[in-house]
Amino acid sequence: MKKVITGITAFLILTGCIKEKSSDRLLAEPDKNEHLIAENALKINKDKNTIRERFSPPQGYEWIEEKPDSFGYFIENFKLKPYGSQILKYNGTPISTQHLHEAVFDIDTGSKDLQQCADAAIRMRAEYLYKSKKFDEIKFHFTSGDLLSWNDYKNGTRAFVSGNSVSFRKTAHFDDSYQNFRNYLDLIFNYAGTISLNKETKPVTKSSDLKTGDILITPGSPGHIVFISGVCQNKKGQRLFLLSEGFTPAQSVHVLSNPFNPDCTPWYDLDVTAAETKTARYFFKPTNFRSF
């Protein structure tokens, strides 16, 4: 559960991510020995430090090329921590489950229990827009429906909550520093979640349209999100996908392994029309793919 700012009501603080051991969609952990088999199933270039360089597609598949200025390119070429890095909580301690991921993104989690699952997707999207200087596009809704943009925040606008209502007033000086951008994101993480992100994204109705950066989401409280972090394709047009996530409590953004298909891990075969989709730590029912 996200930490609550004093005065906020339950209407506004609907958590965007699952609570550990509280959802029937959490999957039981597979035998840890399965990971030992999966580890050698496909070549992983352990000395490489981006998703695209580290993970080789299965035989007969090739990486789909992304435009250099795209969100997909940003994710696939985002720096990773050294192979074997642990998933760490926001307080710097490792989580108990360390055998269901294949990579850890080299990005901070913050020092508070804020950057959970929906927030990890928001973080990646916001960092892409910030780096690309697409500042006008950096804007996210609170679960309440209220919208706060980075442009407004850097110009001093702040949110004030009273009961179930949110108002905005300019109370700070202009500050477009990266640290202030992180302050803005922490505010978004506290008030946004799976419900708001589901509303501000568009449904993907064809599997052939899935691309890196798209999300698989269960909106709710609890809810969950994973995001596509790589796509490969064979000559028949069949595609496989890498999936990444954040989790509760706030922890390192990481690339998931695929314990259901050790011969193909960490790649997943995804279908937007599937009744449900199982990922390493959660299953989504119904399957709900969406795009920014």
pLDDT digits (tens, 9 = 90+) for 195-219: 999 999 999 999 999 999 999 999 9
> Can you tell me the distance from the alpha carbon of 11 to that of 144, in angstroms, rounded to the nearest whole number?
7
pLDDT at 22 over 50: no
Higher pLDDT, 189 or 35: 189
Burial 188-209 (b: 16+ CB within 10 A, else e): bbbbbbbbbbbeebeebeebee
Residue 146 placed within a domain: no
pLDDT greater than 80 at residue 2: no
Of the pLDDT bands very low, low, confident and very high (cuts 50, 70, 90), residue 14 is: very low
Cα distance between residue 64 and residue 234, in whole Å: 10
CB atoms within 10 A of CB 177: 9
Whether 139 is in a domain gets the answer: no
> Based on the structure, what is the number of domains in the chain?
1
Of 9-13, 75-79, 163-167, the least confident: 9-13
Contact 134, 154 (CB under 8 A): no
Q: How confident is the model at residue 43 (pLDDT cuts 50, 70, 90)?
A: confident
pLDDT, the chain, mean: 90
Residue 280: what pLDDT?
97
* CA nearest to 57, candidates 79, 42, 76: 42
- pLDDT tens digits, 111-168: 999 999 999 999 999 999 999 999 999 999 999 999 999 999 999 999 998 877 899 9
Domain that holds residue 224: 32-111+193-291
**Nearest residue to 240 (alpha-carbon basis) of 272, 263, 273, 268:** 268
The rounded distance, in Å, linking the Cα atoms of 220 and 224 is: 8
Question: What is the rounded CA–CA span in Å between residue 242 and residue 143?
Answer: 28
Q: What is the pLDDT of residue 206?
A: 97
Residue 31 DSSP label: P
Q: Please report whether residue 215 resides in a domain.
A: yes
Cα separation of 56 and 259, whole Å? 17
Task: Please say whether the dihedral angle defined by the alpha carbons of residues 119, 286, 289 and 260, taken in this order, is positive or negative.
Answer: positive
- Weakest mean pLDDT among 5-9, 84-88, 175-179, 184-188: 5-9
In a domain, 161, yes or no: no
pLDDT for 32: 45
pLDDT confidence of residue 221:
84
**Global confidence as pTM:** 0.89
Instruction: With respect to residue 180, please indicate whether it lies within any of the assigned structural domains.
Output: no
Residue 53 has pLDDT above 60, yes or no: yes
Residue 51: pLDDT over 80: yes
Q: Is residue 184 helix, strand or coil?
A: helix
Query: If you average pLDDT over residues 265-280, what whole number do you get?
Result: 97
φ, ψ at 203 (rounded to 5°) = -70, 145
Phi, psi (rounded to 5 degrees) for 127: -65, -40
Q: At what angle do helices 178-191 and 117-131 cross, to 10 degrees?
A: 150
Nearest Cα to 119, choosing from 96, 97, 135, 142? 142
Quick check: is 140 in a domain? no
Given a cut of 50, is residue 35 above it in pLDDT? no
Residue 33 has pLDDT above 90, yes or no: no
Cα 292 to Cα 72: distance, rounded to the nearest angstrom = 11
